[in-house]
A and B are shown apart, each in its own frame.
Chain A
Amino acid sequence: MRGPRSNPAPHLGPVLAGLATVALATVAVGKGPPPRWWAPGEGRVFPQQLDYANAQGSLRVLLAGEPVATKGHPFFEPLGSNGRACVTCHQPADAMSLSAETARARWDATGGKDPLFAAIDGSDCPSLPQAQRASHALLLNRGLFRIERPWPPKAWNGAPVTPDFSIAVVRDPNGCNSAPGHGPAAGNISVYRRPRPVANMKYLLAVGFPFDPKQGYALPLDPDDGRMQSGNLMADNRAGNLRLQMDDAGTTHLEFRKRLTPAQVTRITDFEKRVFTAQQSSRQGGALDDMGAKGGPAHLRDSEPGALGSIGEPVWSEYAAWDKLSPADAARLTPEQLAFRRSVARGARVFRDRTFLITDTAGINSRIGFGNPVRNSCVFCHNMSQMGNDVAPGQVDLGTTTMPFADPWPDLPLFRITCLKAPHPHYGRVILTMDPGFALTTGRCADVGKITLQSMRGLAARAPYFSNGLAKDLRGVVDYYDRRYHIGYSEQDKQDLVNLMSVL
């Protein structure tokens, strides 16, 4: 495992030179750097700033306010029976998510004994032989955890939801949708998803407008405090607030048989709302808050959340200053740095301004009345300033989990959805999907394949991408969109977008 700020690769020299002072500030004299991996219950102090090298440069994690003693803290302590804590799957070095690369390194370091690989969801199915690496292939290869949802669906409060579709298992390569106790007939459905980052939370919780234009209702109210919910926390929006998300994660991922106490919920909430992360420096471009740019998490920490980029600070205008570097500034950069910074600035413009026809995408082309098709750009959905998630609840079907748009991966389960009332407006009456997504929460055929838009911060630290790890790297993300919507990006456009995403 790599340690933060330790043994920098030669090409990271300019980046990490500036981090030396950070190391002095956060690492006790005479000791080696703290390990990159945060193990449950280890009792470290979570400092106000952490920097972690990655292939694109370095990621910074900022903790607003005072450092947090993690000993006894419910985010960091193993609460349940399997030895995991929240931090197991929300690692600071991975932008508070978990990369597949980190999972592989953890397997190699522990021989698969780390609680990360708990049978409950760190293996493809608990019924598989747990000591074998192959039984954890989805986590190791694609960073996917098993998510078991009730069937028929239930609301957040356990109330039954009557679905307007039936579901049948077409393919079950792992046994978790057909083995005894598993599958629709047994009252559950297993899908496989990436862990979402637990950082920059004020943006994910922000409510910009009182309506959900994709669902055609006013926003639902938080059952705890009566405020409107953003709808942007979870991939399938099954939990609308942090307390519900914690309860869900506690009983499943941690195998915690009790309920979190209000005090534990308060402590986790306090921590999660104080964590901000973003790429801080680029291997090719240098410091990301240099020469007028506003990269890094400090700008995230200090900005007001929930603003539409179209009426406020344009999305990714953090790098607008690099579009018009003065000759004097340009002369201070190496040719590689200058070219990279210009590419990032171009990428931001491509992201905002390059329009294409969006077609057959529920959440955009239906039921909302933008039209099918509608011409727009990436910021049509990735519209929140500073974060690039959706100001409105972001449940959209890009096709990443659903045929014919998704790659037909044979190692994931495949379900056949049959709409019992109106057909799906874009797929028809019968749909093949590897993850019905939001439909497993609402019970609506029209919501099959919808996945909540993610934060776009810290991407360099947490490959692969999309909810099911469909894109193994940032180029894969761009290629998917280019293919799905016939955009026709040039090679330059693609590289500019990749470079942009590598510095977010």
Chain B
Amino acid sequence: MRKLLALLACALPVPAAAAETGALVRYVACPIYRDADSGKKSGCWLADDAATGQRWDVSLSPYKPDWNYGVLVEGRTTAAPPDACGAPVLEPVRTSRLYDMPCTRHMLPAEGYPGRRYKLQGRYIDPLSVARPVPPGPYAERAFPIYFEFGNDFLVYQYDDYLLDRAVTWIRAAKPKRLVVTGFAASRPETISGQVIAEPTELARKRAQTIAESLRRLLPGIAIETRWEESAPPADEPDADGIPGQSQRRVEIRALF
């Protein structure tokens, strides 16, 4: 049954957006949970793009949806078959919860789709009992970005903790004189799926303060200056995974000597 459904899904007509691998997709939708069960954390998240009618598999987002609220979906199309969750896959992908957009919670049964068996991979940190390798020098001024979901200053598990741990490991080795922590927010209004969305300008300050507080705990005694800027242009940074919106919602930790 499962194989049959997967084959049927593969045979479905693929829309133009999906056919173009790597195309950026960005829309607002109510998420759908598919109760696939291949063990822990294996359920699927799906979301329909109202402009095209296309249902996408957005399960690979590091920050998953809440079925009671809308999500801003940002992702890139892939050629991956829709056999895990029953929809073409966006990867990389981000789903930001929109808490001012209530949704009717909806759950689909697995319907033969397995979801994805969870495995620890990608951006995760080791326990403190595991020594971090010392990054090689020479050390010079350097900036480390930390990224956030839309409207959020929350440290994303198995994404931001990894980025911050990596930055702190380098800073401990490099011993800069001070850190300048600058928060950015995507505060310029944009119309997405017919909705005008913009981050509040104060989010840039909150993000800077959130990261500065964590740095004070991780690097006690180091001089930290916080700054914030209201509007951030997109930047092409590898850890933003080629998603322009992600790169706008960031904090930059700049190590100065």
**Which chain A residues in 356-376 approach chain B with CB under 8 Å?**
357, 360, 365-376
**Which chain B residues in 25-82 approach chain A with CB under 8 Å?**
33, 35, 37, 39-43, 45, 61-69
In the complex, are the beta carbons of A221 and B220 less than 8 A apart? yes
> Which residue on chain B has the smallest CB distance to residue A219?
B217
* A324 CA / B165 CA spacing, docked (Å): 42
In the complex, are the beta carbons of A209 and B41 less than 8 A apart? no
In the complex, are the beta carbons of A213 and B161 less than 8 A apart? yes
Q: A207-B128, A209-B128, A216-B210 are in contact. Are A369 and B41 (CB under 8 A)?
A: no
In the complex, are the beta carbons of A372 and B65 less than 8 A apart? yes
In the complex, are the beta carbons of A375 and B37 less than 8 A apart? yes
Whole-angstrom distance between the Cβ of B155 and the nearest chain A Cβ: 4
* A210 CA / B215 CA spacing, docked (Å): 11
* A372 CA / B32 CA spacing, docked (Å): 10
In the complex, are the beta carbons of A372 and B67 less than 8 A apart? yes
In the complex, are the beta carbons of B41 and A425 less than 8 A apart? no
Q: How large is the interface on B (under 10, 10 to 19, 20 to 34, 35 or more residues)?
A: 35 or more
In the complex, are the beta carbons of B218 and A210 less than 8 A apart? yes
* A490 CA / B33 CA spacing, docked (Å): 25
Chain A neighbourhood of B161, CB < 8 A: 209-211, 213
Chain B neighbourhood of A220, CB < 8 A: 217
A320 at the interface (CB under 8 A from B): no
In the complex, are the beta carbons of A375 and B156 less than 8 A apart? no
Chain A neighbourhood of B129, CB < 8 A: 208, 306
In the complex, are the beta carbons of A217 and B217 less than 8 A apart? yes
A208, A226, A307, A375: the one within 8 Å of B41 (CB):
A375
* A211 CA / B154 CA spacing, docked (Å): 12
How many residues does chain A have at the interface if contact means C-beta atoms less than 8 Å apart? Answer: 39
In the complex, are the beta carbons of B210 and A370 less than 8 A apart? no
Q: Mark B125-152, 1 if CB is under 8 A from A, else 0.
A: 1011100000000000000000001001
* A425 CA / B152 CA spacing, docked (Å): 13
* A363 CA / B41 CA spacing, docked (Å): 16
B214 at the interface (CB under 8 A from A): yes
A504 at the interface (CB under 8 A from B): no
Chain B neighbourhood of A311, CB < 8 A: 120, 127
A141 at the interface (CB under 8 A from B): no
* A96 CA / B39 CA spacing, docked (Å): 36
* A365 CA / B65 CA spacing, docked (Å): 9
* A74 CA / B157 CA spacing, docked (Å): 42
B99 at the interface (CB under 8 A from A): yes
* A264 CA / B99 CA spacing, docked (Å): 49
In the complex, are the beta carbons of A355 and B37 less than 8 A apart? yes
* A293 CA / B144 CA spacing, docked (Å): 48
A308 at the interface (CB under 8 A from B): yes
Chain B neighbourhood of A380, CB < 8 A: 40
B42, B68, B127: the one within 8 Å of A208 (CB):
B127
Chain B neighbourhood of A371, CB < 8 A: 33, 43, 45, 64-66
> Which residue on chain A has the smallest CB distance to residue B152?
A367
Listed from nearest, the 3 A-B pairs whose CB atoms lie closest are: A371-B64, A369-B63, A218-B214
20 contacts across the A-B interface (CB closer than 8 A): A208-B128, A209-B127, A209-B161, A210-B161, A211-B155, A216-B154, A217-B217, A218-B217, A226-B220, A228-B217, A306-B127, A306-B129, A369-B61, A369-B149, A371-B64, A372-B65, A374-B41, A374-B43, A375-B39, A380-B40
